[in-house]
């Protein structure tokens, strides 16, 4: 039996034991305090909190961006039958008044319908690409532009667009609708910042304003301009290739800078008009076939070709673009330039003080009465373009010749593209 007091030896042991206890406690306590302060290091805690907050912010930011702001443009093509309008030949060319009026009405009707629908915020615009005949009926091929966020499902958007189109008045069912890549000619994508400055000392062209402009380079140096008329063909001047007819030595570059172009494509074939006459400059036209298809972008795109019978009115505005010199015998420039000129009738251009009869029917004059605004050396082969009332750009001239540059009564002379429209079709099928 052990009494509470115990023996003296027991007491001694107890005394030793109790005497040791404070020491044991002293051993343990500092160790505990040390491990607690390591796990709660304020710097580590701060770092962890900041990292978690930053990761959460990035995740929330990405979610908001993808759900709300990551918009993309989509183009849809459809065909609608216009009820109550019979097809006639006057609808066959976009240049006719009837075509323009009806297209404008159809576009307004589509715009009104979508602006009153639940896609009013997504609808951007519509455009009639073609009016055509189906039996006695008139069919309008249309393209519509929408912006959707990426989370919008393509198939469901298509269904919503289709159902809205079906509600349109005076139209019959559409004939299937497909998302498309924009392939229209003569449409500009950049901001339109035209000015009337000359090429000689003139204004810099903005990216996307003249997306059909091509630089034709021989041994990697700019020689002539050209205009993209399809993803394989460039329209240019015959005189550019007179002494330089080997296609493999040529390349075509796209974009406004010749030193850092957006695309470079090799040349496969050069077709010079058989009746090109260097003395009279007659038939100064050539076609350049690329060795691969150029990729259309908002900065690289084809220009429209005019109809053979399309009227080019004297006095109307046109633009000429190129990397040519800014004074006669000057050097070419590396950034594309633009100049606004006016069409001059062949009669006026052939006056004795002018070219005195040297301007032939397959040619076209453009300039300004007082001179100073003109194409010049290095602009040759490049396009002279005009805009129609529906903001489509047509190539009406090819820079060909002139007496020096920018002199009064000596405007630029261009190959008249309408006169060669059928030749172009025969050579290219376009
Ligand atoms: C040339 O030599 C040239 N002013 C081009 C255009 C004009 C004159 C000369 C028109 O390439």
CATH number of the domain bearing residue 247: 2.40.10.10
Q: Are residues 170 and 215 in the same domain?
A: no
Name the token pair of 204. Answer: 């810099």
pLDDT of residue 47: 87
Name the token pair of 226. Answer: 């050209």
Q: Are residues 229 and 152 in the same domain?
A: no
Please give the number of the atom of ligand 1 that sits closest to the Cα of 239: 11
* DSSP alpha helix (H) spans, 263-358: 346-349
Residue with CA at minimum distance from ligand 1 atom 6 = 376
What three-state secondary structure class fits 194?
Answer: coil
d(CA 109, CA 172): 14
pLDDT of residue 200: 61
Of the residues 117, 149, 174, the one at which a domain ends: 174
- How many structural domains is the chain composed of? 2
Q: Is residue 268 within 8 Å of residue 289, measured between CB atoms? A: yes
Pocket test residue of 225, 243, 329, 405 for ligand 1, highest count of atoms within 8 A of CB: 405
CATH number of the domain bearing residue 111: 3.30.70.960
Pocket test residue of 222, 402, 403, 411 for ligand 1, highest count of atoms within 8 A of CB: 402
- What does R_g of the chain's alpha carbons equal in angstroms? 37
Q: Are residues 135 and 217 in the same domain?
A: no
pLDDT of residue 170: 65
Of the residues 224, 257, 290, the one at which a domain ends: 290
Q: Is residue 168 within 8 Å of residue 348, measured between CB atoms? A: no
Residue 274 lies in a domain: yes
Q: Are residues 78 and 166 in the same domain?
A: yes
Distance 329 CA to ligand 1 centre (A): 10
Residue-range definition of the domain harbouring residue 220: 211-290
Of the residues 264, 290, 316, the one at which a domain ends: 290
- Provide the annotated active-site residues: 239, 284, 380
Residue 31 lies in a domain: no
pLDDT of residue 342: 97
d(CA 9, CA 284): 130
Residue with CA at minimum distance from ligand 1 atom 1 = 377
> How many residues comprise the chain?
430
Question: How buried is 421 (Cβ within 10 angstroms: 0-12 exposed, 13-18 middle, 19+ buried)?
Answer: middle
d(CA 130, CA 185): 12
Distance 429 CA to ligand 1 centre (A): 30
Residue 93 lies in a domain: yes
pLDDT of residue 26: 42
Residue 337 lies in a domain: no
Residue 25 lies in a domain: no
Residues with CB under 6 A from ligand 1: 374-377, 379-380, 399, 401-402, 405, 412
Residue 82 lies in a domain: yes
d(CA 427, CA 288): 11
d(CA 415, CA 397): 5
Name the token pair of 355. Answer: 């070219």
* DSSP alpha helix (H) spans, 116-177: 154-166
147 φ/ψ angles, rounded to the nearest 5 degrees? -115, 130
Q: Are residues 98 and 145 in the same domain?
A: yes
Give the pLDDT confidence of 125-150 residue by residue, as tens digits. 888 888 888 766 788 888 888 887 76
Q: Is residue 262 within 8 Å of residue 299, measured between CB atoms? A: yes
Among 67, 29, 224, 28, CA closest to 149? 67
Q: Are residues 91 and 145 in the same domain?
A: yes
**Weakly modelled stretches of the chain, pLDDT under 50:** 1-36, 174-175, 180-182, 190-198, 201
d(CA 23, CA 161): 85
Question: How buried is 387 (Cβ within 10 angstroms: 0-12 exposed, 13-18 middle, 19+ buried)?
Answer: middle
80 φ/ψ angles, rounded to the nearest 5 degrees? -125, 145
Q: Beta partners for 236?
A: 286
């Amino acid at each position: 039996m052990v009494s509470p007091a115990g023996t003296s030896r027991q007491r001694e042991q107890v005394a030793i034991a109790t005497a040791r206890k404070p020491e044991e406690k002293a051993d343990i306590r500092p160790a505990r305090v040390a491990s607690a302060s390591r796990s709660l290091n304020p710097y580590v805690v701060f770092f962890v909190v900041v990292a978690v907050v930053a990761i959460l912010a990035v995740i929330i930011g990405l979610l908001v961006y993808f759900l709300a702001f990551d918009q993309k443009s989509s183009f849809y093509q459809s065909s609608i039958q216009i009820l109550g309008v019979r097809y006639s030949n006057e609808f066959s060319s976009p240049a006719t008044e009837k075509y323009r009026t009806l297209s404008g009405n159809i576009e307004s009707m589509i715009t009104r319908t979508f602006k009153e629908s639940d896609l009013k915020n997504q609808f951007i615009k519509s455009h009639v690409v073609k009016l055509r005949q189906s039996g006695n009926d008139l069919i309008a091929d249309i393209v519509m532009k929408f912006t959707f966020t990426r989370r919008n499902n393509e198939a469901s958007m298509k269904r919503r667009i289709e159902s809205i189109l079906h509600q349109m008045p005076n139209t019959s069912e559409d004939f299937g609708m497909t998302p498309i890549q924009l392939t229209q000619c003569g449409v500009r994508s950049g901001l339109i910042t035209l000015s009337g400055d000359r090429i000689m000392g003139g204004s810099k062209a903005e990216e996307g304003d003249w997306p059909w402009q091509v630089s034709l380079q021989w041994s990697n140096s700019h020689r002539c301009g050209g205009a993209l008329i399809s993803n394989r063909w460039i329209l240019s001047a015959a005189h550019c290739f007179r002494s330089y007819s080997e296609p493999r030595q040529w390349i075509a570059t796209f974009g406004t800078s010749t030193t850092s172009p957006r695309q470079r494509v090799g040349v496969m074939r050069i077709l010079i008009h058989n009746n090109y006459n260097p003395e009279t400059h007659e038939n100064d036209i050539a076609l350049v076939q690329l060795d691969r298809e150029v990729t259309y972008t908002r900065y690289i795109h084809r220009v429209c070709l005019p109809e053979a019978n399309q009227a080019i009115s004297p006095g109307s505005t046109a633009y000429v673009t190129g990397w040519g010199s800014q004074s006669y015998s000057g050097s070419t420039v590396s950034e594309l330039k633009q100049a606004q000129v006016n069409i001059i009738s062949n009669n006026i251009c052939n006056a004795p003080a002018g070219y005195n009869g040297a301007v032939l029917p397959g040619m076209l004059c453009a300039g300004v009465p007082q001179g100073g605004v003109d194409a010049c050396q290095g602009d040759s082969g490049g396009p002279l373009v005009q805009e129609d009332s529906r903001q489509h750009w047509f190539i009406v001239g090819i820079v060909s010749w002139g007496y020096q540059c920018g002199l009064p009564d000596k405007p630029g002379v261009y190959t008249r593209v309408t006169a060669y429209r059928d030749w172009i079709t025969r050579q290219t099928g376009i």
